[in-house]
Amino acid sequence: MTIRHEHEDPSVHSFILAGKDTVFGHHLAMFGMAEHRYQVLVEYDLPTDIVDIYLKDRADRPGSWHAVRNTENMVLPPIGDGSVTEYPARLDRVTQTGNGEDRIWEPISGGFTARIRQVLNFRRFSDEPFPAHLTYLLFGKGEEAHLTHRLVQRPHFEQIITLQQVPDGVTQADLASAPELTVPAVPDDGHGGLPWTTRPLPARRYDALLHRTTGAPAPVTLDLGDERWWNITTLNA
């Protein structure tokens, strides 16, 4: 059976960055545009000078985020199937207010080649129902671990959080495979059909369940650190 997808025009795709020792990028999705209706998580291999600019600007401007943005229009599926592993890009500083109502993109580098070391998650949105509980993807490397909200459909939210440390019991193989992680204490079942307007994890510590591909869910404790991104506006447009 042939699966037919909507036409997708080549476009600009921004990947919000997380990590210091290892830099990861999370695609900014949009439910309302076919070419952006993807959740994508990659590990980058960026030029040393670009990483230096990113880390210095991140330290100087802790209230802003950073993104790798392609400088030649492209579509995402070739990244997902591994046929595209690099593309021309620039580094942006992203400053926003509130829930993303006002957002400023400022180029802070010249052009460079963004190389993808590995794709941790690539998923085109479907008619999947909302999960019962708050669900994230857990990823990272070495002593760094991050969460990104697993996207399903409107109304949802984009959020990237860096943890204070890798949770006990989480292995490097876990971090490299970006498994799902649920927070049983917080529902994520549609939010009454209204967009989230406040962050759903106001405390600093939560009990969670790590869902590996085999075996029972493993209990882990999350110690939340810095938020690296939050958005409910363009995602739900």
Tokens of 58: 């991140």
Q: pLDDT tens, 103-154? A: 899 999 999 999 999 999 999 999 999 999 999 999 999 999 999 999 999 9
Q: pLDDT tens, 97-112? A: 777 778 899 999 999 9
pLDDT for residue 96: 86
Strands 144-149 and 205-211: unpaired
Residue with tokens 């290892």: 22
pLDDT for residue 5: 58
On the question of pLDDT at 94 being above 50, the answer is yes
Range scoring the smallest mean pLDDT among 43-57, 88-102, 150-164: 88-102
Distance CA 30, CA 39 (A): 9
pLDDT for residue 3: 41
Nearest one of 218, 219, 173, 181 to 201, comparing CA atoms: 181
Beta bridge mates, 42: 25, 119
Count of beta carbons in the 10 Å neighbourhood of residue 177? 15
Average pLDDT over residues 33-45: 97
